[in-house]
Structure 1
Amino acid sequence: MTDGVARNEDVLIAGAGPTGLTLAVELARRGAGVRIVDAAPVPHRESRGKGLQPRTLEVLEDVGITERALAAGTTRLPFRKYFDGAHVNDTDPFADARPTPDAPYERGLLIGQWQVEKLLRERLAEFGIDVESGTEVTGFEQDEDGVTAFLADGGRIRAGYLVGCDGGRSRVRKAMGVRFDGTTDETQSMVVGDVEAEGISRDVWHQWFASDGAGVMLCPMPGTNSFQFQSGLELGADGEPLPPSLESFQRIFERYAGVPGVTLTDPTWLSVWRVNVRMADRLRVGRVLLAGDAAHIHPITGGLGMNTGIQDAYNLGWKLALATAGLADPGLLDTYEEERLPVAAWTLGISTELYARVREAVREPGTGVEAAAPPPMGTGYRWSSLAEPANASVGDPAVLRPGDRAPDAPCLDASGDPVRLFQVYADPRFTLLGFGAEVAGAVGKLGAEYEGLVQAFAIDGGDLRDHEGHAHRAYGVSDPALVLVRPDNHVALLTRDPDEVAEYLSRIVLITPKE
């Protein structure tokens, strides 16, 4: 139990799933004081959301775990479909996908959610921060100086800000008085869990469907002996759904898979999933904010849930870090809601559409969950007030505009060694790229004036060399041009006027440039 009011941290995070952990790492690597608590007594080992999209892999590269995630998961798992018991086909919807200089991750990664959380916990521990398990935030009071969070054990924690990353039943959201508008459809519920199954190939994602629209799927989870099991609910003699159990899973498997001699064993997770489509009407009330499932929940199709939460945290982290340091203009935190609420609405819409598409597709031989392949996530925030309108004479708006995701590109550093722009962007500051010798001096001057806020590089001016022209093409610029990239790797500004860079920074950050 936490007696009285514990030490005052900059930020208290309630919930240590992928969203809360990503936010904690983002704050910690920017020097903010972070405390993260979770109601569960120990970390779970459930596959849950089991995929990271390409944009999320880019985000997690910046966070510092993508290389480890790629080693733990797999990017290549064909779908094997059966229809009414007969093998129909094996497909790989991403077989022709290839990495490009501006987008290094051409396909998503299959990996259990618990494994992602484990990697994030390990990364967070590198900053000397551990999750406080068995600690649940049940409510709070806030004033103009901070937030006092109330814990289930009667303790309290004082912090400058509180972020609720505590899931769809978020107690933080309820205490905020924020609406969670949407619907729950009990008629489309399904069972899901983790089991082992001897005698079934682990080289493919098995999908058995029937002409009545029902079926069962077994997806092998990398780095484990388990499969994620998914199917519709089993009904009892009274027509009511039976609770998930190993025995029920076995009966469903035998009915639809028809593979003799296979016994499901060692269940480590048995659950019922319901179709919830809900979104908070606000993401911020004073010093309290929401992210991840606490802010939006939606169908599992397309694998958007864990990805959306991680990208929420990536958007919020740098803004909240500046706020805790007293450097953010008062309006900067408002841009979190401005940018992420439309993304949440898009996610709810597209995931609902994909769910309907899959339910229809599985009734026909030859298609399956590949019908749920979503469009790319995280392409940008062109509508944001942080997206400065581009100078019409700088860059090609058909290639890149302010608010867009900042592309990757292979370059050479000052020593002639290979370096990617994404590696450069891993620094937690803004990044200023200067294309052309004409702006090299201005780049150096701005970098020196805003040293703690901006890292500056002259492209082909001594700092970085665009030896193959990929950076120029990806950013749609010709000499001269200045590109300001946000700490979350989105383009803030395209210009050739150094004064516009200084003016942009002065509008969102309270910092005096060095003389």
Structure 2
Amino acid sequence: MKEQFAVDVLICGAGAAGLTLAIDLARRGISFRLVEKAEHPFHGSRGKGIQPRTQEIFEDLGILNRIVAVGGVYPTERLYRDDGTSSDSEVTVLNDPTTAEPYQLPLMVPQFLTESVMRERLLELGHWPEFGCELVGFEQDQDGVTAHLVSKAGEEALRVRWLVGADGGRSDVRHTLNVGFPGKTLGVRALVADVVLAGLSRDFWHRFGAGDMGRQIALCPLAGTELFQIQAPIPLDADMDFSADGLTAFIAQRTGRHDIHVQSVSWSSAYTMNARLADRYRVGQVFLIGDAAHIHPPTGGQGLNTSVQDAYNLGWKLGAVANGAPDKLLDSYEEERRPVAAAVLGLSTKLLDDLKRGDMRRGREVHQLDIGYPQSTLAMEQPERTRRLFAGDRAPDAALRGAAGQALRLFNLFQGAHWTLLGYEVARGAVQPRPGLHIHTFGPRGEIQDDQGHFYRAYEPAIGDWVLVRPDGYVGAIVATDDLVALEDYLKQVGIGVASTCGGDANPD
């Protein structure tokens, strides 16, 4: 007899990673609870950069326009020299959007605003985080997890199919699993504070003492707010005064200016930078995502973005297995995401070294558009490709036209919880429709027209090719019409292998 669970998934931690996973599960109709031991939402700006790849994810989740509306772009950097002069430069390398990569500019959105938008989206889908609800222990067996929760309502034992630890760098879930968290302390302690201040223009990111770790300080206007964020390295044993007067004196000491006055402090923290990576991302029925799995120095704005993409990778896989896909599909989460985190740790650490020398410029390396899973067991090519796009790569956008004449984007076809199968000059009926799969064909008899050649230039398909795009926007498989047996086997592997003569979609979009 099949065991009955209270919910399929218990998510522990309602930060950006936990909220992303909750939104993705909610739109798939997968039952879950999202608990957070803090009594109230986080109100600081710790993670404020939203990279282009994360913008694509937020578009898919239905929140990008709101994110842009509450935030803004990074301001010009104004660097002050000791001789009293200053110079202005752009922190980010500016590239024009393309049809394949519609977002090229990182956004600045304080973390508390990002998470507020995400909670609003989650509420639209019928769910809300349970604040003041703490996971105090759990046990698991081969079928599921028994989680012990404590809240104002009392103690509760909850039987779930899977537990996901999204509970930060000091993760209780990771500690309970006894998963190692090796890495290193980077020897840098930093102050960060969100404040209201007078004496500086909001048109610039003001930096003083560049290249001198004993004197560096940056004061950045936070888009969408009246706040500035103060950032500065501080001695490892410094006892900081985070009051308005204390921070005013600290700014004067670092800048030599006495016309900058902190009027109030919204949030502040002093932290030691670490680079650490969990030994495992999955132990049985329990998973780690976000800072519970990896922590980075803040340089390059990679931490929150990597966390969001962990959740985006795991969400569709949990949904697929909940609906009957083989359990081994869940092993691909660690297989795909842990190497990405390892690479991001190296990048963030390099950028920290650059910052120590006073170099803050950021280019494509931080955009995360080049992240892919070419070595994944979920990447298949039949026959092997020699052209531009490969299985495991991010699926590019393209400007297209429908057969009825309307303009559309490839990302419009991808948006939602489904898989997307693109056939290039193929017989549409060669692949039968089935729940969870949207089929679109290009060519004289297709419903999609590549009248400007954007799809062809981005994907370089051969006549008769089928391109299967995963729910998280990566190419799962590229197969020729002569190899459709391999495509059918692949579809079974990911839980959409049963054809349906009546079509439809088992998952809500």
Tell me the secondary structure at the aligned position of residue 350 of structure 1: helix
Partner Cα separation in structure 1 for residue 267 and residue 46 of structure 2? 9
Name the structure 2 match of 1:188: 188
1:207 has 2:231 as partner: no
Shift of 1:246: 3.1
Q: Report % sequence identity.
A: 41
Tell me the secondary structure at the aligned position of residue 22 of structure 1: helix
Question: What do residues 203-229 of structure 1 show as CA deviations (whole Å, max 9, x unaligned)?
Answer: 111111156432111111111110111
Tell me the secondary structure at the aligned position of residue 356 of structure 1: helix
Partner Cα separation in structure 2 for residue 319 and residue 85 of structure 1? 57
Partner Cα separation in structure 1 for residue 190 and residue 91 of structure 2? 25
Instruction: Return the match for 1:288 from 261, 286, 289.
Output: 286
Q: Is the 8 Å Cα contact of residues 191 and 270 (structure 2) preserved in structure 1?
A: yes
1:439 has 2:427 as partner: yes
Name the structure 1 match of 2:397: 408
Name the structure 2 match of 1:502: 488
| Structure 1 unmatched runs, 5+ | 1-5, 363-367
Q: Is the 8 Å Cα contact of residues 84 and 211 (structure 1) preserved in structure 2?
A: no
Partner Cα separation in structure 1 for residue 85 and residue 162 of structure 2? 54
Kindly provide the amino acid, as one letter, of the partner of residue 468 in structure 1.
Answer: Q
Name the structure 2 match of 1:36: 34
Name the structure 1 match of 2:461: 477
Kindly provide the amino acid, as one letter, of the partner of residue 465 in structure 1.
Answer: Q
Tell me the secondary structure at the aligned position of residue 105 of structure 1: coil
Name the structure 2 match of 1:221: 222
In the TM superposition, 1:442-481 aligns within 5 A as 442=430, 445-446=431-432, 448=433, 450=434, 452-460=435-443, 461-481=445-465
Shift of 1:81: 1.1
1:377 has 2:371 as partner: no
Instruction: Say what the alpha-carbon RMSD is for the aligned residues.
Output: 2.0
Once the two structures are overlaid, the 10-residue window that deviates more, 404-413 or 370-379, is 370-379
Kindly provide the amino acid, as one letter, of the partner of residue 382 in structure 1.
Answer: P
Question: What do residues 486-514 of structure 1 show as CA deviations (whole Å, max 9, x unaligned)?
Answer: 11110011112232221211233274323
1:420 has 2:412 as partner: no
Name the structure 1 match of 2:86: 88
Q: Is the 8 Å Cα contact of residues 148 and 157 (structure 1) preserved in structure 2?
A: yes
1:304/1:271 CA distance change after superposition, 3 Å: same
Once the two structures are overlaid, the 10-residue window that deviates more, 333-342 or 83-92, is 83-92
Q: Is the 8 Å Cα contact of residues 489 and 497 (structure 2) preserved in structure 1?
A: no
Q: Is the 8 Å Cα contact of residues 23 and 122 (structure 2) preserved in structure 1?
A: yes
Kindly provide the amino acid, as one letter, of the partner of residue 79 in structure 2.
Answer: K
Q: Is the 8 Å Cα contact of residues 301 and 372 (structure 1) preserved in structure 2?
A: no
Once the two structures are overlaid, the 10-residue window that deviates more, 256-265 or 44-53, is 256-265
Q: Is the 8 Å Cα contact of residues 140 and 146 (structure 2) preserved in structure 1?
A: yes
Q: Is the 8 Å Cα contact of residues 472 and 478 (structure 1) preserved in structure 2?
A: no
1:388 has 2:380 as partner: yes
Kindly provide the amino acid, as one letter, of the partner of residue 378 in structure 2.
Answer: L
In the TM superposition, 1:319-338 aligns within 5 A as 319-325=317-323, 327-338=324-335
Partner Cα separation in structure 2 for residue 149 and residue 224 of structure 1? 39
Question: What do residues 425-454 of structure 1 show as CA deviations (whole Å, max 9, x unaligned)?
Answer: 012111000111x33332xx43x2x2x121
Shift of 1:240: 4.3
1:210/1:467 CA distance change after superposition, 3 Å: closer
Q: Is the 8 Å Cα contact of residues 111 and 222 (structure 1) preserved in structure 2?
A: yes
Kindly provide the amino acid, as one letter, of the partner of residue 157 in structure 1.
Answer: L
| Structure 2 unmatched runs, 5+ | 502-509
Q: Is the 8 Å Cα contact of residues 196 and 264 (structure 1) preserved in structure 2?
A: yes
Instruction: Return the match for 1:59 from 57, 60, 75.
Output: 57
Shift of 1:465: 1.2
1:87/1:318 CA distance change after superposition, 3 Å: farther
Q: Is the 8 Å Cα contact of residues 216 and 232 (structure 1) preserved in structure 2?
A: yes
Shift of 1:87: 3.7
1:288/1:501 CA distance change after superposition, 3 Å: same
1:197/1:255 CA distance change after superposition, 3 Å: same
Query: Aligned pair count?
Result: 490
Partner Cα separation in structure 2 for residue 247 and residue 356 of structure 1? 31
Instruction: Return the match for 1:513 from 489, 499, 503.
Output: 499
Partner Cα separation in structure 1 for residue 114 and residue 469 of structure 2? 27
